[in-house]
A and B are shown apart, each in its own frame.
Chain A
Amino acid sequence: MGKILLEGLYVLAGLICLATAYMAIKDKEHPAKFGTSLFWMLLAATFIVGKYLPPVVVGAVLLVMGGLTAFNQVKIGTLKNSDENFRIEKSKEIGNKIFIPALTIAVFAFGIAQFTDLGGLVGLGFGAIAATIIAMLMTKAEPKYIPYDGSRLLQQVGAVSILPQLLAALGALFNAAGVGEVISSGISGIIPQGNILAGVIAYCVGMALFTMIMGNAFAAFAVITAGIGLPFVFSQGANPAIAGILALTAGYCGTLMTPMAANFNIVPAAILETKNKNRVILTQAPLGIALLITHIVLMYIWAF
């Protein structure tokens, strides 16, 4: 049942991509209307009919989508938010009730995950539908804004919205090519096999360091989990949910301490006009280090 509902929600997500493709092609001032439109159409296809396509075709579609972003053909169009005066006026008129639809999504997602066997994702989808209905009743917005604002936000998020999926796919490919074994055999010279504490330290510190180099904990997670997490932590009987999420947030500790994560650390310093462009990193480093150590302790005690 959960699976069928989930397929239905994928179709819904696909329809939002299709709406975005349509808005892009109709957008007269769009800086790259054809590329952008094609990108979202292809993503729509993976959502709606992806399950029925041969995997090799989906792989080829991904290469086309990658090519479009590489040549900068996926861009934001000219869809606009309402003007500021309207927003201020409406926010006064509607008041704190405006938070209700937003909370609905979280409540549905958690409630359905906790109390049914449909899973949190179905909850997320139902929550989104319920929230949309409540928001439409509350704001009395014209229905045309459902696809319009959905497309506006999706174009803002842009092509990187598929990055988590691509990184998971990269992890699968690394696994098939045996990259994990190479990293783990290299590291097993340093870490004694069978030592849980050494494995936990290597996993957490590896995540933080790799994230600092790459500036992206999501990318680090795919690589380090295959190379270190699997052979040195999960294979020793770690609780996968606990060790998995702790490894990811150990990576976030690295994000706090690297100029490579420019959008979190360097750009904000510029926005605030600090004299030292590493000001934000300097502030975050003590907490980052303390929290990384806490991750190691917590994973060692709680995941085993």
Chain B
Amino acid sequence: MIKLIGVLIIVIGFIFRLNTIAVVLIAGLVTGLVGGLDFTEILSTLGSAFINTRYMTLFLVTLPVIGILERYGLRERAADLIKRIKSITVGRVMITYLVVRELAAALSLRLGGHVQFIRPLVFPMAEGAAENRYEKIDEEDIEKIKGYAAAMENYGNFFGQNVFIAAGGVLLVVGTLGELGIEVTALEVSKSSIPIAIIALVYAMIQNYILDKRLDSKYKRKNTESAK
């Protein structure tokens, strides 16, 4: 039982928001010591696993080009494209963004973010769609739309990212299983993430469809003819 102290240290460390890297290292050291390893063995185990898994941090070689593209307006261009989409319902604004976000994640494009896209772009567009479609919309539903807008960013990010062959999650699976003596390739792992990427998208579509239906039945539709 005492060997689980490392797990306990990690849980406590995360709950109290202590420095993650320090928590992980301390959990490792303590676990090694109670597991009967001596200090040199612990350092050797850590060191050789770290060197064996350098590929997990190979994404560093992509940072210069992404930085340069950002310098020349990559994000601004993406925002521009999303703005041009004409969507008539709240749910369709959400789904359009989710599709773009998930594809971007699958291609490892670092486009997205609650600060960069949801607050300045997706939420105002969804709110605008609601205001155009319904005569009035109460605060409670505006609040719900905010929740949906933030959720789309997470859905797309989480379930799209592993389709990319060198995603952090893919390499973590390859590396962790490798350290446990099971060999897999990054290509196999990333291909295996595709069904869940699609299913998550379908579930989100259903969730947004239900939202649209609920708003449609709750509020009176604006007479679009006279609104023009």
Contacts and interface: CB of A to CB of B under 8 A. Distances in A.
A147 to B, nearest CB: 7
A127 to B, nearest CB: 8
A25 interface: no
A271 interface: yes
Contacts of B158: 249, 252, 255-256
B97 interface: no
Given A106-B108, A141-B68, A166-B24, A174 B31 contact: yes
A52 B196 CA distance: 40
Interface of B: 1, 3-4, 6-7, 10-11, 14-15, 19-22, 24-25, 27-28, 31-32, 34-37, 40-51, 53-77, 80-81, 106-109, 114-115, 118-119, 123, 143-144, 146-151, 153-155, 158-159, 162, 164-166, 168-173, 175-177, 179-180, 182-193, 195-196, 199-200, 203-204, 207
Given A132-B64, A213-B11, A172 B147 contact: no
Contacts of B6: 170, 174, 177, 179
Consensus secondary structure, chain B interface: helix
A193 interface: no
A132 B58 CA distance: 15
Contact of A165 (B53, B69, B71, B187): B53
A190 interface: no
Contact of A279 (B24, B147, B199): B147
B147 A70 contact: no
Given A141-B72, A162-B57, A252-B159, 6 more contacts: A125-B58, A149-B67, A177-B6, A234-B180, A268-B114, A274-B146
A26 interface: no
A172 B51 CA distance: 12
Contacts of B81: 96
Most chain A CB inside 10 Å of its own CB: which residue of B15, B77, B149, B203: B77
Given A245-B170, A275-B143, A283 B61 contact: no
The number of chain A residues touching the other chain, given as a range, is 35 or more
Nearest to A133: B65
Contacts of A302: 195
A276 B195 CA distance: 33
Contact of A287 (B41, B50, B207): B207
Interface string A98-134: 1101110110011001100001110111011101100
Contacts of A60: 43, 47
A191 interface: no
Contact of A260 (B15, B37, B66, B114): B15
B199 A59 contact: no
A65 B21 contact: yes
A244 interface: yes
A63 to B, nearest CB: 6
B180 A226 contact: yes
Given A16-B61, A101-B69, A167 B24 contact: yes
Contacts of B190: 120, 245
Contacts of A264: 154
A168 interface: yes
Nearest to A146: B64
A41 interface: no
Interface in A62-109: 62-63, 65-67, 69-70, 72, 81-82, 86-92, 94-96, 98-99, 101-103, 105-106, 109
Nearest to B188: A241
A171 B4 contact: no
